Amino acid sequence: MRAELAVRIAAADNRYGPFASTHEAMGVALEEWNELCLAIHMNNLDAVREEALDLAAVCIRLAESMENQTTRARSVK
């Protein structure tokens, strides 16, 4: 599972780069959260696993992006 998570994180980093701001990350996380909720409501256990990994990848990317000074600068009022 950790290898799958690492692949998702790397793919998102390669495709999108770092988050522009914490607000962008929040939007992505909320989208993944909503998809996870839908999968749970539909009782689609395979989708629950996939969406949980997607959400975890976003949260880890957000935590790691706090080392990026551009992301930090755009996130401060």
Residue 9 · residue 3 · CB < 8 Å: no
Q: How many CB atoms lie within 10 A of CB 19?
A: 25
pLDDT per position as a tens digit, 10-63 = 999 999 998 989 999 999 999 999 999 999 999 999 999 999 999 999 999 999
pLDDT classification of 70: cutoffs 50, 70, 90 = confident
**pLDDT at site 8:** 97
Is the pLDDT at 71 greater than 90? The verdict is no
With CA atoms as reference, report the closest residue to 16 among 56, 72, 76, 65. Answer: 65
Strand residues in the chain grouped as ranges (E): none
Q: Does the global pTM surpass 0.85?
A: yes
Q: How many CB atoms lie within 10 A of CB 34?
A: 12
